[in-house]
Structures are given as structure tokens and as C-alpha cells.
Structure 1
Amino acid sequence: MSAAKHYLTDPTSAVLSNLNSLTLTNPSLLLDAANKIVYRNPSSILNPHNVSVVCGGGSGHEPGFAGFVGDGLLTACVAGTIFASPGAEQVRTCLQHRLPSESKGVLVVATNYTGDVLNFGMGVEKARALGKKVEMVVVGDDVGVGRERGGKVGRRGLSGTALVVKVVGALAEQGVGLEDCARVGRLVVDNLVSLGASLSRVHVPGRGIEEAREEEKRLGPELIEIGMGIHNEPGCEQVKTDLPGLVKIMLKQMLDQSDKDRSYVKIEKTDETILLINNFGGVSNLELGAITNEVVIQLEKNHGLKPRRIIQGTLFGSLDGPGFIVSVLKLADTKLGAGKSILGLIDAPVNAIGWPRCVTAETWEQNHKPPPLGMMEQEDETEPSNLKLDPSKLRSTLEPALKKLIASEAEVTRYDSVVGDGDCGIGLKRGAEAILKELPSMTSDDAMMAFAKICPTVENNMDGTSGALYAIFLNSLASNLRALDTSSPTPVTAEIWAKALAMSIEGLGRYTPAQPGDRTLMDALVPYVKVLQKTGDPKEAAKAAKVGADKTKGMKASLGRSVYVGGTGFEEVPDPGAYGLSVFLSGIADAL
């Protein structure tokens, strides 16, 4: 369910505080709080004769559009309350009093919602009556509402509006006249398609939890709504599918020319395009990146399109909505010359907080190609040594020990669920299973060749703190064994193992301060090595490791996640890392 808890419960205060924050993070901006207008300080405008560009609408779509006020984008933005258009008098005040008086015209951009169109339109007419030269572009880019359902209202305005204001803002910055700015703005709208999808509704600050729950009932927990509007409006359909299936449906609705109800723009394989993946506001960056990746793959595979530019981020949000919008813009000819193409205008620099800091046009156009396979990564070759291990004995020793460790996963996980985050058992199991798969390939009698297999296997299959510690320790063990290499073939004895292990514990101290008594795997490892050094007997050493692990019951952690997880369960369970290691070491002892 969308979050029903907010830091601010008064929506009016939330809007004004947010608008004021823009003047704090961009000192070239001013705020008319009474009229909720964010505008550029006249002293920051180098060319006041240029066309002024104004946009706006209901709040809740941050950073659009107040966050786009700045050089190369908007001259001003008029904001309403959450999801409600500003009033006509606010718009008139902006057009008449918050723009450079020397400006040779004003272009107003509004999204195609009834309130926005009426109130911005009324403000435009009032300004015209007072002698202002004003043009208005209305953006409708949504394909979720088809022609039949949209009727005379037409397409709703979605995140493609951000691309429109970017293009006209760049034109105005370059000194292009009002008529051409308006014409190109409409050209962009005519070549733009967008469609959104969301997992659930958004929650507006100030509304109660029960009201939020009622909104959630409109969409089941397993359904995704396609075509959902940016104000919680219902979409065109609800589906149960995965991400590839969702993207396939969305792109078909956007680009299928056989769908006469939604084929608003004819985009062919030969057309150049720009792709925008817009976050409603509640999708994590990780998921948004995966969404972008899937869209790009399917655009090329199913529709033959390779976008010239790909923009990803939150440009036109919907509060905390767990949704996204895909926008595809066909690059039509502006008829203003090569220096003022739509692509060039998208690339033009801006100085506004809300526009994403994208990579430069030069980087896009360099057409970077990956180097041939093998050029960047050469297989590391392990230098042979004279330290000898019987490979069949190595396999017969490791196999039962690894299987014993795998079998202990549930128990280790249970211990870690009490004192940690529950992933220790899974991590040890994953590492053990990976090494088990490598055992048949360990046929060399060179001990270093075994480590050449084991070390990268652990690194690639065990993550988290335990994975890092094991990887460091095993690599250090390999290094220290090599330091004990001899000039003639020598079997690796218990004495050599003990010496190398002791050196590796010392090396591990460079990366962790853990010592016995801190409730870590060191409580099992250190006793094992000490007894092995003293007796040369792996069985006695394994017993010492088990005793050390058992002693961690009731031991308060000094290091690791257990320190801040807290709780009282540590009195009854051993440290999961120490216990897991003791299981493995006892498995080795049993196999010898």
C-alpha cells in the first residue's frame, strides 16, 4: 500500500514549503508565495528580450514544473494546490508582473486537463487584453485514453510535457521568436506518445489512513494498472503480468499502427526518437533502471527503434506513486536549421534543479564501442608452485565437509535470524555449493592451482560480510602458502597449513579488528589454528573450533550486524558465522 504517513499533514504548508525550498537551492529564483509563483530573478536573466516561457499546474508532480525554472528552461511556474490547477488570477499575475517587461512575448505551456486549460487560458486572455503578446501550447501525449473514450477532450498531458518545455525553453534561450517557439512546441506534442503504469494509488498528505486504504481497494495486490493518470485517475486496463509482459503491452499501445483508437503518432523503424522513462516518485532507482533496460531491449527487438537519447528519472512525478511513464518522441524537422533541431534543443544546457544532469551530446555521438572480447580482461594465470596436494585426497576431504555445511543451512539461518539479518546460512550454502561444483576440475597436485579455483568461486558466489571475510582470508592463505614454497616438490603438511593459517589470521587483522570474544567467526577460527599449530592434529583443532563456537552463546557482540540488531536471543544461540565455520572444520576432520 502507498505510504499513508507523511512528515507534513497540512497540504497547503507542504506546497509552500516546497516552493520556497527552490529559492534556497537555486539562489537565482524568487517566490511570490501569495500567488505560488516561482520565477527567475530579473538580475539573473542575461537576455530579457527573449521569449519568456511559463508552465505550471497542480502541485504533487515535482520536480515538474517549478523545478524547471532556470536558464534554458522556464522563466516562471505557477503552482496550484496538490493535484489542482492554479487560478486564472495567479496566471495573470505571473504573465503581467513576474516576467521581464522587455520580453518580446510569452509562451504558456499547459497540460491537457480541464482545470489547467481553463485557468491558464483565462489568464492568457486577461494578459492579452492588457496588451501582452502571449501564445499557449496545450500538451496531450497520453495514449492510455483512446480517441473514443477521450472524445473532444483529447489526450491527457503526461511526462512528455517535460520534453516540450525543454525544447521551447532552449529555443527561447537562443532568441527564437514567439511564433516559432509555439509552432515547434506544438510540433513536439504532435510527435509524442506516452503511457503510464502503476502498482497502486498515491496518497495525498493530509488524507487519513482509512481513506488511503479505500483508494487501495480499487486495485488488487497482484494487479498493475496501465494508463493510470497522474492524479490517481483510473487507467485503461488492469493486468497481472511481469515486467517484460507489462512493457510489451505498453509499447504495443504506444506504437501499434493497427490500433486505430490509439495510433496517434506514426513512428516507423527509420525514425529517430528520444526515450524518456519517468518515475511517478515511488519507484526505486534500482527498479527504474531495470525498467529502462527492458524498454530499450523491446524497443529495438520488437519495434526496430534505437533512441538517440535516453532520459531516465523523476521529471513529472505523482507524489509517492509506485509507477512510471514511458514517453517516445519522434524527431520531426523544426525547419529552423540544423542548429535548432529537436535533438540539439534537448541537448542544450540548462541551469535548473529539476532537469536531470544527463551525459553530454558529445558522449552520445561518439558511438562508443566495447573493445574486443579479451582485451580488457585477461585470465589471471597462477604461477605454479612446489607445494603438493593429492587431488583425489583433496576432493574426498572437501566434498563431505562442504555437504555437511550445506546441510546445516537451516540451523545457521535460524541462528542468524535471531541475532542478525538471516542471510548467513544462505551465504555459506551458496559458497559451499559453488565449490562443490568445482571439485571435479581440481585435478592438479599443485596446491596453488586448487586455490586458483576456490578463491574466485568464493568471491563470485558469497556476498555480504561473511563472503568478504572468507575471500580475504582465502586469498591471504594462498599468498602465505606461496611464501612457504620450497625449491623442490614438498607435500603440504599440517605444520605448513598451521603456519600459513596463522599468518593469514594476522593478515585478516588489517581489515577487521575482530578477535576471540567479539562473537564472530574468529571465535572458531583462532582456536582451530592455535591447536593445529600446537598439536598438528586437525581433529583436535576441529574440537577446539566447536568449543569456541559454543562459547559464543550468551556472548554480547562487539562487531558485526548483531551489535545494532539488538534483542535478547543471543543468550540461547551461538554466533552463526562461528558455528558455520566449526561445522565445516569438523567435516574436514571427519573425512581425514
Structure 2
Amino acid sequence: MQTKHFIDDPTHLVHTALHSLTLTNPSLALDLENKIIFRKPTKELLEKPKISIISGGGSGHEPAFAGFVGKGFLTAAVAGTIFASPSAEAVRRAVLSRVPTDKGVAVITFSYTGDILNFGMAAEKAKAAGVDTEFYAIGDDVGVGRAKSGKVGRRGIGGSILVLKIACALAEAGGSLAEVYKLTKQVAENLVSVGASMEHVHVPGRSVADPNSDEIIPTEEIEIGMGIHNEPGSHRVSATLPELIKTMLAQLLDPNDTDRHYVDITKDNRVVLLINNLGGVSNLEIGGIVAEVHKQLKEDWEIVPVRVIAGTFITSLNGLGFSVSILKLDDTGLGKGKSMLELLDAPAEAVGWAAAIQTSTWEADNTGTMDKSIDSVEAKPSNLTLDPKQSHEVLKAGLDKMIAAEKDVTKFDTIVGDGDCGIGLKRGAEAVLKELSSGDLPTDAVAFVNKIVPVAENYMDGTSGAIYAIFLNALAHGLREQDSGSSKQVDVKTWTAALKSSVKALGRYTPAVPGDRTLMDALVPFVDTLERTGDVKKAAAAAKEGAEKTKSMKASLGRTVYVGSESEWIGKIPDPGAWGLQEFLVGLADAC
């Protein structure tokens, strides 16, 4: 493991690396505070608006993601600290203030929990503000099979860059938001990747691993399936390069491997081969790896790729490894000039891609910048109305009951979690009460919900805070969808439809469903019962019953999966998040 670095300060390292992109491509600008790289508003962008595509993730994967911002590729990228997702607020600012929104915005990231939640929260907030937005998380890894990955699904690794390139080329060609979203999903579903590495990597500024720990891969071994953040793969082997490639191609292509067989690829298919350097392999060795992969594909699988792309696209700092990706070219149905291959071949001015920056770009007027005020794209008024005083009283009853339950929720979470759930819910509830007590409350139902949203975002920590924030943003969007243009008082039917929409939106960012021992065990029964009966009290009773049932459930998501001994709490302790939510819902129902 290489532990020496020219720059040991991780914050300074990320900031200066982002700044360097504005020096190598004059069409880019940097919002340093929020770590956003974005395209400057050229005359072409302003006169012929197209959909914007935003991606991003933790730093340490360069040139991804900021290195792919430029004409023909991303409109903007948001960076986090090394191996950590950027905040939802930074992504929100990218969507609302750094890119054109006239034709809509596609938020496309890789499939990792932090990125899904934070980019997803920003996407929902953009929708709530009236911006046409789609979100997609790319997963292409087969190194961790279905049995081990479970509901988390495939991770996004090297091949995901092909998805971004093709989607962005369609956007540049004038594709609609719906077309770009559909194509993104289609390309990802025809893509498989697997990585291998000889060593874990060392993050600048962090302590050095114990040489006797599992973080050190023995000299004679190679880890197959290692992720881009040092995550473990399927297994370790002692193998020559030909033996290693044979194993990797089997994971990608063997139809008998039911745990990893995601895409049917045969000799009759046209495919693209991508070899991605994880950062620390010499160009000389990458050349040898490319040749070996191509040789075995042809000889053992009778597959000859129509394109072979090799280089450094998404790294793990200076990781001593590489990934192999195979994309099956499928009919897009978009007509001439918009096939997967044509879009992949389309020019792009991004320093992380192969195409060079054109002379015309260097000589263009690059003095402009995109710096729209977020206030100009805040949520538009709706025609849905409510009684703010009554709504305040009902919410207060639920929030007071949630606050009173803090000791119980904390006790439960101390046993099955990290002990912070009760405090987090109490802090959020108190902040909402304070906000609702300050100043006049809007009669506009969407504006009323949007008044609560930033409180949840700013005062509720951790995963539960992100889930509540996503849900509330989606609730505002769900209400807006029912705005017919004429004034209408919201009723149980209106709220129910909005809640159903919110639960569906939440499903895009978390795999949790009833039975997984999460707050969904209280939320979903509440919404389903409300839809069926129209009775809030019956719905709250269903939520309480759902929370009670979590006592006997085995956790499949969250910290409870690996904290404490199951025998200590099974049958006795409910899920803390579900219990806190049902307390709120019961209090709310009692006040209705």
C-alpha cells in the first residue's frame, strides 16, 4: 500500500484539483464553496437550451466526475470529500443555480447509498420547486453477486462512465428529458463490469493501516471484485494475468453463474469493451491487460468488440488495479445518429474523455458565468389551499407526542442501533414546531409543506434525516401533481394521493419495504389504510400495529443488521424509527 503523497491535506487536495480543471478547460467554472464544476453559459447554451445533466460523488475517483464536465458531456458535477458523497445542499445548488433548467435536469449518479440519498434528496427538492427532474443511479458491477448485495443491488464502477457518455451525447443532440432517462436505464441494463486489485489504497491525511490487518492484501494475492472505495470483492486469488482474466470474464459472461448473470451476451451481439485503470497501473501494463482481455474474448467466447476503449476514467486514488466492462449494444429506437454506438462516438470536450478541447473553445468569449439566484427558482405557488391554524394544531399534537417518546426511542436505539434516533427525531420535531410558530403560515398547501422541508434537512441528522427530507420534498411534489389550475381545498383524498406519491418516490432511494424492520413498517400501513378507509385514526392504528410487529422482525437494512446480539432484543424491541413515526401519527390522528 502506497502511503506517501505530495499533498497530505485532503481538503486542500480536493480544492486545488477542482481548480485545475478550470485551467485545462476554459469553458468551465468552479463554485469552490460547494465543490461544483459547471459549464459556463455560452451563446449556444443560452440560445438553444438543452436538458442539463448533473453527476458527481466522492473525490478520489478522478477524472470522474468533474473531469467529464464539458460540451457533449456533463453540464455540472458535484464533488464530495475523498470517498464521501457531497451534501444534498451542494447538489441542490448545482441543480437550481449552476445549470440551465428550461428543458429539465437529469441527475445521474453511481449506485452507492450516500450518493443515492443526497443526490436523490436534491432531485426531489428540484421537483418540489417546479423543475422537471429525473434521477437515476447506475449499477454495473457483478463482482458482488445477488446473494451478497441483496437489496442494495449492483455498485457503480468503471463501466458506468459509458452510460454517462451515451446519455450526455443524446442530451447534446437535443434529446428530451424522458428520452435521456429511458436511454440511461437501457444502457445500464445492458452493461456488466468487474474489477480486480493488488492492493487497497491509502487516503491522504488518514492513519496508516496495521500491516497485520485484513486491509493489507498479501503480495501474492489479487482481490477480484474490489469496489472503488476499497470495498471487498468476491474472493482473493493467486493467479497469473491470463488466469485472472479468465475468472473475470467468467463472472461477466457465464450464463450458468446465476448469482452474477445480469446480461445475456453472446457471440451474436455487438459489444463495446472498456478497460479502466483504477489509477496506479502503468500505461504499459494496461496495454498488456487490454491485449489479454481481447484475446480471451475472441478465443474463448467468440466475441470481437466493435470498440475497444482503454484509459483512466474512474479511479480509486492510485489503486493498483483495473476493471473490465462489456456493453451490449441495443437498439435505442431513436433513429439515425442516435444509436448507442453513434452516441458513444460523438465528440466531447471533457478532459477526462479522449477527445481534445477544440481551438474554437479556447478562442471563444469565456468571461460569462452561470450564477442564478436560487430564490428565482423557489417553489411556485399552487392552487391547493388549507387552514394553516388547524394544520399547525394537528401537526403540533403529533410532534409533541414524538418529542415525549424520545426516551423510549433512545432506549430502543441504544440496544439495536447507535442511540441517536430519539435525539434526532426530537431535535427535528422541536425545530419544526419553532418554525411553525414563527410568523404567518401560508394557506398554500405546497408552500406549507415547503416551509417544513428545510427544517428537516438542517436539523435531522443521519440516514433517517435524509429519508424524512426526501419524503417531505416528494410530498410537496405529490401535492403539486394534483393542482388542476383552479382553487381547491385539500382533503383526505388529496393528502392520500400525495402520500402515495411520496412513498413511491422514497422507493427510488432506499430498498426498504415493510418487513425489513424500518420506519416503512409504520409508514406504508398508514398510507395504505388511509387510502382504503379515508379514516386517519384507523390509519394511525395500522401504523402502530406495524411498528409493534417490528419487534419480531429480523433486520435486513441499517445498523441493526450488525449491532448487538439478536437474541437480546428479538421479540422485545421495536424498530426505533418505526416507533417514533407511529407516535407522531397517533398524536396527529388524535387531534383530527
TM-score (norm 2): 0.59
- Decide which of 244, 252, 265 is 1:254's aligned counterpart: 252
Secondary structure of the structure 2 residue equivalent to 1:16: helix
Looking at structure 1, the residues matched to 16 and 213 of structure 2 have their Cα atoms a distance apart, in angstroms, of 27
Looking at structure 2, the residues matched to 286 and 49 of structure 1 have their Cα atoms a distance apart, in angstroms, of 42
Looking at structure 1, the residues matched to 124 and 212 of structure 2 have their Cα atoms a distance apart, in angstroms, of 41
Amino acid across the alignment from 1:155: R
In the alignment, which residue of structure 2 is the partner of 1:148? 147
Looking at structure 2, the residues matched to 327 and 98 of structure 1 have their Cα atoms a distance apart, in angstroms, of 32
Alignment of 1:28-39 (within 5 A): 28-39=27-38
Alignment of 1:408-557 (within 5 A): none
Looking at structure 2, the residues matched to 290 and 216 of structure 1 have their Cα atoms a distance apart, in angstroms, of 29
Q: Is the 8 A contact 1:28 1:44 kept in 2?
A: no
In the alignment, which residue of structure 1 is the partner of 2:93? 93
Where in structure 2 are there 5+ consecutive unaligned residues?
357-592
In the alignment, which residue of structure 2 is the partner of 1:340? 338
Looking at structure 1, the residues matched to 44 and 75 of structure 2 have their Cα atoms a distance apart, in angstroms, of 9
Alignment of 1:185-584 (within 5 A): 185-208=184-207, 210-211=208-209, 213=211, 217-357=215-355
Give the share of equivalent positions with the same residue, in percent: 55
In the alignment, which residue of structure 2 is the partner of 1:177? 176
Describe the superposition over 1:239-287 as per-residue Cα deviations: whole angstroms up to 9, x where unpaired.
0000000000000010000111100000011000000000000000000
Instruction: State the 1:214 CA deviation.
Output: 5.7
Describe the superposition over 1:279-327 as per-residue Cα deviations: whole angstroms up to 9, x where unpaired.
0000000000000000000011111111111100000011010000000
Looking at structure 2, the residues matched to 214 and 352 of structure 1 have their Cα atoms a distance apart, in angstroms, of 42
Instruction: State the 1:138 CA deviation.
Output: 1.1
Secondary structure of the structure 1 residue equivalent to 2:152: coil
In the alignment, which residue of structure 2 is the partner of 1:21? 20
In the alignment, which residue of structure 2 is the partner of 1:484? none
Looking at structure 2, the residues matched to 172 and 273 of structure 1 have their Cα atoms a distance apart, in angstroms, of 22
Amino acid across the alignment from 1:238: R
In the alignment, which residue of structure 2 is the partner of 1:126? 125
Instruction: State the 1:216 CA deviation.
Output: 6.9
Q: Is the 8 A contact 2:197 2:226 kept in 1?
A: yes
Amino acid across the alignment from 2:128: A
Q: Is the 8 A contact 1:200 1:216 kept in 2?
A: no
Higher RCO (Cα < 8 Å, 6 or more apart):
2
Looking at structure 1, the residues matched to 213 and 298 of structure 2 have their Cα atoms a distance apart, in angstroms, of 37
In the alignment, which residue of structure 1 is the partner of 2:115? 116
Question: Is the alpha carbon distance of 1:241 and 1:29 closer, same or farther for their aligned partners in structure 2, counting shifts above 3 Å?
Answer: same
Where in structure 1 are there 5+ consecutive unaligned residues?
359-592
Looking at structure 1, the residues matched to 311 and 210 of structure 2 have their Cα atoms a distance apart, in angstroms, of 26
Instruction: State the 1:48 CA deviation.
Output: 4.9
Looking at structure 1, the residues matched to 215 and 14 of structure 2 have their Cα atoms a distance apart, in angstroms, of 27
Instruction: State the 1:203 CA deviation.
Output: 1.1
Describe the superposition over 1:194-237 as per-residue Cα deviations: whole angstroms up to 9, x where unpaired.
000000111111123x3274667531110000000000011110
Question: Is the alpha carbon distance of 1:57 and 1:44 closer, same or farther for their aligned partners in structure 2, counting shifts above 3 Å?
Answer: farther
Secondary structure of the structure 1 residue equivalent to 2:300: helix
Describe the superposition over 1:493-518 as per-residue Cα deviations: whole angstroms up to 9, x where unpaired.
xxxxxxxxxxxxxxxxxxxxxxxxxx
In the alignment, which residue of structure 2 is the partner of 1:539? none
Question: Is the alpha carbon distance of 1:214 and 1:168 closer, same or farther for their aligned partners in structure 2, counting shifts above 3 Å?
Answer: farther
Looking at structure 1, the residues matched to 3 and 43 of structure 2 have their Cα atoms a distance apart, in angstroms, of 40
In the alignment, which residue of structure 2 is the partner of 1:436? none
Looking at structure 2, the residues matched to 280 and 45 of structure 1 have their Cα atoms a distance apart, in angstroms, of 35
Higher CA-based Rg:
1
Question: Is the alpha carbon distance of 1:29 and 1:335 closer, same or farther for their aligned partners in structure 2, counting shifts above 3 Å?
Answer: same
Secondary structure of the structure 2 residue equivalent to 1:152: helix
Looking at structure 1, the residues matched to 19 and 209 of structure 2 have their Cα atoms a distance apart, in angstroms, of 29
Looking at structure 2, the residues matched to 115 and 98 of structure 1 have their Cα atoms a distance apart, in angstroms, of 22
In the alignment, which residue of structure 2 is the partner of 1:40? 39
Q: Is the 8 A contact 2:290 2:310 kept in 1?
A: yes
Q: Is the 8 A contact 1:4 1:212 kept in 2?
A: no
Alpha-carbon RMSD: 1.3
Looking at structure 2, the residues matched to 22 and 212 of structure 1 have their Cα atoms a distance apart, in angstroms, of 35
Instruction: State the 1:154 CA deviation.
Output: 0.4
Question: Is the alpha carbon distance of 1:107 and 1:238 closer, same or farther for their aligned partners in structure 2, counting shifts above 3 Å?
Answer: same
Question: Is the alpha carbon distance of 1:300 and 1:44 closer, same or farther for their aligned partners in structure 2, counting shifts above 3 Å?
Answer: farther
Looking at structure 1, the residues matched to 153 and 27 of structure 2 have their Cα atoms a distance apart, in angstroms, of 37
Q: Is the 8 A contact 1:201 1:215 kept in 2?
A: no
Amino acid across the alignment from 1:76: A
Q: Is the 8 A contact 2:51 2:100 kept in 1?
A: no
Looking at structure 1, the residues matched to 211 and 293 of structure 2 have their Cα atoms a distance apart, in angstroms, of 31
Instruction: State the 1:160 CA deviation.
Output: 1.3
Q: Is the 8 A contact 2:200 2:215 kept in 1?
A: no
Amino acid across the alignment from 2:256: S
Secondary structure of the structure 2 residue equivalent to 1:211: coil
Amino acid across the alignment from 2:183: V
Looking at structure 2, the residues matched to 346 and 59 of structure 1 have their Cα atoms a distance apart, in angstroms, of 25
Q: Is the 8 A contact 1:280 1:314 kept in 2?
A: yes
Looking at structure 2, the residues matched to 44 and 25 of structure 1 have their Cα atoms a distance apart, in angstroms, of 21
Q: Is the 8 A contact 2:193 2:326 kept in 1?
A: yes
Instruction: State the 1:162 CA deviation.
Output: 0.6
Instruction: State the 1:149 CA deviation.
Output: 0.8
Instruction: State the 1:44 CA deviation.
Output: 6.1
Looking at structure 2, the residues matched to 212 and 29 of structure 1 have their Cα atoms a distance apart, in angstroms, of 41
Describe the superposition over 1:62-98 as per-residue Cα deviations: whole angstroms up to 9, x where unpaired.
0011000000000000110000001111111100000
Q: Is the 8 A contact 2:68 2:74 kept in 1?
A: yes
In the alignment, which residue of structure 1 is the partner of 2:60? 60
Looking at structure 1, the residues matched to 8 and 286 of structure 2 have their Cα atoms a distance apart, in angstroms, of 28
Q: Is the 8 A contact 2:157 2:314 kept in 1?
A: yes
Secondary structure of the structure 1 residue equivalent to 2:33: helix
TM-score (norm 1): 0.59
Describe the superposition over 1:37-79 as per-residue Cα deviations: whole angstroms up to 9, x where unpaired.
0000112653551011110000000001100000000000011
Looking at structure 2, the residues matched to 260 and 199 of structure 1 have their Cα atoms a distance apart, in angstroms, of 27
